[in-house]
């Protein structure tokens, strides 16, 4: 759409990422929403490129956005940068009112600092016990997000209101992984019966063009997740002395 | 009738604590902007109704109350203050340039990810390997020493000629870092290893917006002992 806006304002865009990383998906969604074109470089995290190590020497992690050769690291930092470096290009991820901005930042931080660690425990759980405990711990965080959706959206489709915003991208980019974990664990973390608002929001988010274009295939994500679990189980098995 | 100063102060309140480096960030930012505020001190181990109502999700300080509406999370509060009190005369907390903003936000996140958890281990407030914690702080400060050169570009602060976002985020730890040196017996701000940061730290603590809210090391050491006592009492109370 916004072909003319392709990487204006200071140079070319390159994105270092991995195909299934939800943090990379966040950035790809944001750039897609803004109609910004970029060169995407797939990293092999087992053998990181010099470019990645030079661009993110502190963490060596993806995503890294390179704008005119200058690196921006950390997905939420990149999202705010995208809003600020290309003002007026596509709908803003953050609202203009300072109080609403603070609310959006609060819930984006909640996703990162509170929801995702709880989700990660479920993601990493190997035994029934671990799974049950992790699920129980994660549910209140989903409840909080369900309430947040009602508060932030005020009856509109997204946390950001009429258009996808920061919180939508921060949380929505993890949906494909939440679904993969739900399938393997037999859990239902975004239970449509319990959280109809959030479940409906999830469908809407995944139907957005800029999202559909970059979210990886659910089957491939599931396969990758099963591969990880097989490794973890094997590692746990080889270090445990009893069954 | 309240004077305009009182009215203004009542319009801006901070639920915080004199010893909380997170709360100190809010105090410094408001002082930098010349905004009067009412400071409400929370008592350790006994959270006020107002705090619980104002930050029901995390129940933590600081919370900024502006015209009665709560803003929580210190980094979010700083950006809110910057955006609300953004007139020509007021110093900016975040720089204007988007790339410079991204750099400061990156390092601010790094500071909180690395220094906060290590600090509470070194203070003996949470369990953990103290040597590892000390190493983590040391590595983090070495990275920040290098970042200082790039951010300051020869000027006095990360923010340039005046303190800014990253100065406040990192600088707010200085009281506790000095206290940790006494509590854990480790040298953290070593002038020979961290010359830029050591000099910056002195400038930061002497800044007009900081000096009245940066707690003294002795008071923090005492507070730490008190806090550990409160936490132990709570824990043993829970076990009955």
Average pLDDT over residues B192-220: 97
Q: Tell me: pLDDT of A4 over 80.
A: no
Average pLDDT over residues A48-66: 97
Tell which of A56, A85, A114 closes a domain.
A85
pLDDT band at B225 (very low <50, low <70, confident <90, very high): very high
Q: Tell me: pLDDT of B47 over 60.
A: yes
Question: Looking at the structure, do residues A72 and A114 belong to the same domain, yes or no?
Answer: no
Tell which of A85, A110, A131 closes a domain.
A85
Strands B12-16, A39-42: pairing kind? unpaired
Q: CATH 3.40.30.10 occupies which residues in chain B?
A: 12-85
- What would the two tokens of residue A213 be? 């274009």
Q: Tell me: pLDDT of A195 over 60.
A: yes
Question: Looking at the structure, do residues A222 and A107 belong to the same domain, yes or no?
Answer: yes
Question: Looking at the structure, do residues A134 and A80 belong to the same domain, yes or no?
Answer: no
Question: Looking at the structure, do residues A63 and A178 belong to the same domain, yes or no?
Answer: no
Interface test with B, best of A102, A117, A147, A152 (most B CBs within 10 A): A102
* pLDDT of the residue at A188: 93
CB pairs under 8 A between A and B: 57
Task: Specify if A92 maps to a domain.
Answer: no
* pLDDT of the residue at B215: 98
Question: Looking at the structure, do residues A78 and A166 belong to the same domain, yes or no?
Answer: no
CB contact under 8 A, B73 and A109: yes
Question: Looking at the structure, do residues A67 and A121 belong to the same domain, yes or no?
Answer: no
| Burial (0-12, 13-18, 19+ Cβ within 10 Å), B162 | middle
* pLDDT of the residue at B8: 57
Question: Looking at the structure, do residues A217 and A108 belong to the same domain, yes or no?
Answer: yes
Task: Specify if A243 maps to a domain.
Answer: no
Average pLDDT over residues B113-117: 96
pLDDT in tens, A177-188: 999 999 999 999
Question: Looking at the structure, do residues A117 and A77 belong to the same domain, yes or no?
Answer: no
Question: Looking at the structure, do residues A222 and A157 belong to the same domain, yes or no?
Answer: yes
Q: How many helices (H) and strands (E) does chain A have?
A: 11, 4
Nearest CA in chain A to B143: A58
Question: Looking at the structure, do residues A107 and A222 belong to the same domain, yes or no?
Answer: yes
Say which residues have a Cβ less than 8 Å from residue B60's Cβ, sequence separation at least 6: B22, B72
Read out DSSP for chain B?
---HHHHHHHHEEEEE-TT-HHHHHHHHHHHHHT---EEEEPBTTB--HHHHHH-TTT--S-EEEETTEEEESHHHHHHHHHHHS-STTSPPSS-SSHHHHHHHHHHHHHHHHHHHHHHHHHTTSS-S-HHHHHHHHHHHHHHHHHHHHHHHTTSSBTTBSS--HHHHHHHTTHHHHHHHHHHH----S-TTT-HHHHHHHHHHHHSTTTTTTS--HHHHHHHHHHHHHHHHHHHHHHT-
Task: Specify if A3 maps to a domain.
Answer: no
Instruction: Enter the pTM of the model.
Output: 0.94
* pLDDT of the residue at B235: 85
Tell me if chain A has a CB within 8 Å of the CB of B77.
yes
Q: CATH 1.20.1050.10 occupies which residues in chain B?
A: 98-220
Task: Specify if A91 maps to a domain.
Answer: no
Sheet bearing B38-41, strands edge to edge: B38-41, B12-16, B63-66, B69-72
Tell which of A53, A85, A117 closes a domain.
A85
Q: Give the minimum alpha-carbon distance from B222 to chain A in angstroms, rounded to a whole number.
A: 30
Task: Specify if A233 maps to a domain.
Answer: no
* pLDDT of the residue at A5: 45
Question: Looking at the structure, do residues A67 and A164 belong to the same domain, yes or no?
Answer: no
What CATH homologous superfamily does B12-85 map to?
Answer: Glutaredoxin (3.40.30.10)
CATH number of the domain encompassing residue A198: 1.20.1050.10
Interface test with A, best of B11, B29, B99, B115 (most A CBs within 10 A): B99
Q: Tell me: pLDDT of B1 over 60.
A: no
CB contact under 8 A, A105 and B102: no
Residues of chain B above pLDDT 70, percent: 95
Question: Looking at the structure, do residues A163 and A213 belong to the same domain, yes or no?
Answer: yes
C-alpha to C-alpha distance for A235 and B168, rounded to whole angstroms: 44
CATH number, domain B98-220, options 3.30.1490.150, 2.30.110.10, 1.10.940.10, 1.20.1050.10: 1.20.1050.10
C-alpha distance from residue A227 to each of B26, B177, B201 (Å) = 46, 44, 48
Residue A235: name the closest of A135, A132, A130, A124 by CA: A124
Q: Mean pLDDT in chain A?
A: 93
Interface of A with B in 48-107 (CB under 8 A): 58, 67, 70, 72-74, 77-78, 80-81, 84-85, 98-99, 101-102, 105-106
C-alpha to C-alpha distance for B181 and B44, rounded to whole angstroms: 23
pLDDT in tens, B90-104: 899 999 999 999 999
Q: How many domains does chain A have?
A: 2
Domain containing residue A56: 13-85
Q: Coil, strand or helix: which one is A90?
A: coil
C-alpha distance from residue B39 to each of A37, B11, B190, B228, B239 (Å) = 48, 12, 33, 24, 35
CATH number of the domain encompassing residue A78: 3.40.30.10
Nearest CA in chain A to B146: A58
């Amino acid at each position: 759409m916004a072909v003319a806006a392709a990487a204006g304002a200071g140079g070319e865009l390159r994105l270092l990422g991995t195909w299934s990383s939800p943090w990379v998906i966040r950035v790809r969604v944001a750039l897609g929403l803004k109609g910004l074109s970029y060169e995407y470089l797939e990293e092999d995290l087992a053998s990181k490129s010099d470019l990645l190590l030079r661009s993110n020497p502190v963490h060596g992690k993806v995503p890294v956005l390179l704008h005119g050769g200058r690196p921006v690291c950390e997905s939420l930092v990149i999202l705010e940068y995208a809003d600020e470096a290309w003002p007026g290009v596509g709908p803003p991820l953050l609202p203009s009112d300072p109080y609403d901005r603070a609310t959006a930042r609060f819930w984006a931080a909640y996703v990162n600092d509170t929801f995702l660690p709880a989700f990660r425990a479920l993601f990493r759980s190997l035994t029934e016990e671990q799974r049950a405990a992790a699920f129980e711990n994660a549910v209140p965080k989903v409840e909080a997000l369900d309430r947040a959706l009602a508060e932030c959206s005020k009856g509109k489709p997204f946390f950001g209101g009429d258009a996808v915003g920061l919180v939508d991208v921060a949380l929505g980019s993890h949906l494909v992984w939440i679904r993969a974990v739900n399938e393997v664990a037999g859990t239902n973390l975004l239970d449509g019966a319990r959280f109809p608002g959030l479940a409906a929001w999830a469908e809407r988010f995944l139907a957005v063009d800029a999202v559909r274009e970059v979210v990886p295939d659910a089957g491939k994500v599931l396969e990758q997740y099963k591969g990880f679990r097989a490794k973890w189980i094997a590692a746990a098995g080889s270090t445990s002395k009893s069954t | 009738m309240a004077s305009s100063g009182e009215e203004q102060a009542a319009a801006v309140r901070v639920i915080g604590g004199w010893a909380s480096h997170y709360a100190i960030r809010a105090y410094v930012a408001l002082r930098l902007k010349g905004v009067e505020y009412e400071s409400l001190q929370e008592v350790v181990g006994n959270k006020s109704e107002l705090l619980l109502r104002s930050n029901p999700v995390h129940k933590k300080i600081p919370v900024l109350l502006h015209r009665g509406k709560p803003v929580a999370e210190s980094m979010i509060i700083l950006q809110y203050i910057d955006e609300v009190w953004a007139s020509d005369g007021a110093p900016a907390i975040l720089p204007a340039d988007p790339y410079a903003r991204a750099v400061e936000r990156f390092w601010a996140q790094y500071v909180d990810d690395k220094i906060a958890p290590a600090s509470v281990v070194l203070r003996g407030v949470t369990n953990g390997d103290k040597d590892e914690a000390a190493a983590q702080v040391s590595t983090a400060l070495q990275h920040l020493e290098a970042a200082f050169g790039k951010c300051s570009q020869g000027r006095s602060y990360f923010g340039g000629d005046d303190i800014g976002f990253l100065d406040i985020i990192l600088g707010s730890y200085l009281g506790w870092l000095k206290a940790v040196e006494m509590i854990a017996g480790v040298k953290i701000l070593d002038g020979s290893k961290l010359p830029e940061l050591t000099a910056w730290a002195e400038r930061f603590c002497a800044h007009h917006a900081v000096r009245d809210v940066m707690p003294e090391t002795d008071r923090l050491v005492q507070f730490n002992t008190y806090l550990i006592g409160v936490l132990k009492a709570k824990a043993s109370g829970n076990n009955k």
